[in-house]
Amino acid sequence: MLGKVLSLTALATLCSPYFISGAIYPFVIFRNYGYRIVENQSIPFLQHLSLNEPQFLWYWITLILVVLSSAFVLWRFLKTSKENRSLQNEKLLLAPTALALTFAVLGFIHIRFIATFALLSLPVLACNFSTLKNWLMEKWKNVDKKIDDDLKIILVGLFVGILFVLVVASE
């Protein structure tokens, strides 16, 4: 049944005034417009033209965070014993991580995909940082409460400081 539908669709595609060239046109649409469209260009090409947008800096930061945090979660998942290993326990997100990394590659090739990469990387980073937080809490469960509060203040200050430096550097 599906084969019949596919063959009828292929025949209907060829029933146009442009015949085969009209059928394959969607596959060659990105060839040459006669001029360059910015959102179809890659990040290195635009940086070579001295077009340093702040979104490129955020792209690299997010990519590094996704790769490092996903590598940590995968390492943590593989390190646990097979009896204790479960996908819900370690929050190993293979599909969302694969999608985020796919759109990271697409965003590198065409900057139009950077927004999609950012959107898909948010849940991946949230789950990966949750796993990191749980691992740190497990490691530091005997740490004094005062040291724990001081550490939270230091980490928040460090995070705000890094964000401030990045925002000032991107302007």
If one counts the domains in the chain, the total is 1
In a domain, 97, yes or no: yes
In a domain, 105, yes or no: yes
In a domain, 7, yes or no: no
In a domain, 133, yes or no: yes
In a domain, 44, yes or no: no
- Residue 90 C-alpha from the chain's centroid: 20
Q: How far apart (Å, rounded) are the C-alpha atoms in residues 138 and 132?
A: 10
**Residue 99 predicted with pLDDT over 60:** yes
Which of the residue ranges 25-39, 42-56, 62-76, 111-125 would you say has the lowest mean pLDDT?
Answer: 25-39
Q: What number is the average pLDDT over the span 16-34?
A: 80
In a domain, 46, yes or no: no
Q: Are 59 and 114 in contact (CB under 8 A)?
A: yes
Q: How confident is the model at residue 82 (pLDDT cuts 50, 70, 90)?
A: low
Does the pTM of the predicted model rise above 0.85?
no
Q: Are 113 and 103 in contact (CB under 8 A)?
A: yes
In a domain, 2, yes or no: no
Q: Are 112 and 55 in contact (CB under 8 A)?
A: no
Q: How far apart (Å, rounded) are the C-alpha atoms in residues 23 and 8?
A: 14
Q: What's the pLDDT at 23?
A: 83
Q: What is the pLDDT of residues 126-143, one digit of tens each?
A: 888 888 887 777 777 766
**Residue 125 predicted with pLDDT over 60:** yes
Its domain, for residue 72, covers 53-139
Q: What's the pLDDT at 149?
A: 66
In a domain, 159, yes or no: no
Q: Are 43 and 56 in contact (CB under 8 A)?
A: yes
Percent of the chain's residues with pLDDT above 90: 19
